[in-house]
Structure 1
């Protein structure tokens, strides 16, 4: 009992220390940093900002409700990880599902492990942790790998060491991003598997990819059947799937307008042309907050 009382008192002491804006902690050398960094304390949920580098863009609502029910019954078993910001503010490093689920049931605080990290470290930690998850779809994993290459400037060999995956595995995931966006969406929605996607990569023309993809979904083809179908297609044994390559030139007015769109939405906007003066405008988003921000722009 004495130990529990001491731990609670320590928690209150740290909370008071964190609320003291006169002693901001931004580096390991700052005053009281050794007392705060590495500690686990209860932090008010309203003081924690979502990680802007969170690569995960979709949270299953049903799974979130199940987690919320578990937290209501047993509490948060594993603390979230946050980084210290200026003043009495924090930012999520990992544990966004626990954070969201706690909010869902009306909790006011959550146990959190405090650490210091710069923006690049935040992004790398979020991406690497995300890749280790078991419930990610192949495209989410591939996008995380691609961001580590683009934004952290890691080579595939360096990334292999960081995430504990073979370089060939990383290459196979990255190749999925060459597939048509419709096929990538089909993989994310589990209409097809990564095995189907890897087979389709061997078809260069996107229109042909889509033709085979539609056949896979309609006929519920297995990966082995898909591999055979692609093999037949490439050898010319299945001319029904063959479609003449049609090059669609992006109109000047589209190229000119894309820059305006991109500046307005704060993201690189793309288009998918389907014919003369026809196509779709693709607006990407990277989190629920980003989605809501774009939604407000359209209201």
Structure 2
């Protein structure tokens, strides 16, 4: 406990150093830079602005509220990372969820690692650090790869080394961005997997691509089923292609349609229910983070 208290006091001391105009650190060669750069510092939360380079665009309000409750009880366990802009002004590099949740709680300060970086370096750091997260959906990862290539002007080979992924893996993610936006949204919401998306890329016509996507969701097709369906489509005649891509007309039993909206409203997520005419089926509930998973678990278990 004494060790933690000493570290926290040190963070507050460094915070005071940053507020001294005579010690305005702008580069690693400045006086006292070694005391601040790379260390955990307690920063005024109002001195931090969000990162315009943040690749994550999906923030669940329910998950943020749950994280806020955790922070209220336990505090910030993992510091955020910021870059210094000017005197007593900083910008987020990573940790936006913790930052947002801390503002919900009403914290005045937040522990942060400080870095000195230009815009390009900040973009690269934010994208690379976010790519390493386990809760990004495939489209978010693909968009991050695309931004690194286009805005940081990095090749796929160098990107492979930077993020520790095979070039073929990066290529597979980037190809997902060729899918119709409706299908990309379906992947982000968890209705189909990256494997389904990779199979659908081979369908050139947008209409047929969407029709087959809806057939996958309606009939609960596996990735293997989808690959076989796409193969049959590619090898068939124009008439056969039209038949294969035809939307499923399966009717939904009344007991499902009557209760589907209530389930969606209770869980606050898009829910996919797949059922056959004999009443058998399954419910697919997507989640985009560990926090959202635990929120859904509590609702389903009645906690």
TM-score normalised by structure 1 residue count: 0.76
**CA offset at residue 7 of structure 1?**
4.5
Matching of residue 98 in structure 1 with residue 111 in structure 2: no
Give the gaps of 5 or more residues in structure 2.
Answer: 247-303
What's 1:197 paired with?
197
Q: Secondary structure at the match of 2:59?
A: coil
Paired with 2:53 and 2:73, the residues of 1 have a C-alpha distance of: 31
Corresponding residue for 2:17?
17
Q: Distance in 2 between matches of 1:238 and 1:3?
A: 68
Aligned residue pairs, count: 243
The answer to whether the 8 Å contact 1:211/1:241 transfers is no
Counterpart in the other structure of 1:165 = 165
Give the deviation of 1:74 after TM superposition. 1.1
Q: What is the DSSP-based 3-state SS (H/G/I as helix, E as strand, rest coil) of the residue aligned with 2:69?
A: helix
- Say which SS state the counterpart of residue 169 (structure 1) adopts: helix
> Equivalents in 2 of 1:30, 1:210: separation in Å?
57
Contact 2:76 2:111 in 1 (8 A): yes
Partner-residue secondary structure (3-state), 1:85: strand
Secondary structure of 2:113's counterpart equals: strand
Equivalent in the alignment of 2:110: 110
Displacement after TM superposition at 1:241 (Å): 4.0
Q: CA deviation at 1:8?
A: 5.3
Supply the distance in 2 between the matched residues of 1:169 and 1:2 (Cα, whole angstroms).
46
Structure 2 counterpart SS, 1:76: coil
Deviations 1:199-220 (A, max 9, x none): 0011112121111112112222
For 2:6 and 2:69, how far apart are their aligned partners in 1? 30
For 1:111, what is the secondary structure of its paired residue? strand
Distance 2:105 2:124 in 1: 30
CA drift at 1:238:
4.4
Q: Partner of 2:76 in structure 1?
A: 76
Taking only aligned residues, the RMSD between alpha carbons, in angstroms, comes to 1.9
> Who is 1:297 aligned against?
none
The structural deviation recorded for 1:57 is: 0.7
Tell me how far apart the structure 1 counterparts of residues 149 and 15 of structure 2 sit (CA, whole Å).
Answer: 38
> 240, 243, 246: which one pairs with 2:243?
240
1:240 to 1:64, Cα distance in 2 relative to 1, 3 A: same
Shift of 1:9: 5.1
Aligned to 2:254: none
- In structure 2, the partner of 1:264 is none
Q: Is residue 156–residue 167 contact of structure 1 (8 Å, CA) maintained in 2? A: yes
Indicate if the aligned counterparts of 2:145 and 2:170 stay in contact, CA closer than 8 A. Answer: yes
Query: For each residue in 1:224-252, what CA deviation from the matched residue of structure 2 results, as whole angstroms up to 9, or x when unmatched?
Result: 11111111111115441469xxxxxxxxx
1:132 and 2:132 are equivalent in the alignment:
yes
Instruction: Summarize deviations over 1:14-58 as a string: whole Å, max 9, x none.
Output: 222211234322111223222221221211111111111111111
Contact kept, 8 Å, 2:14 with 2:42, in 1: the verdict is no
- d(CA) in 2 for partners of 1:191, 1:37: 43
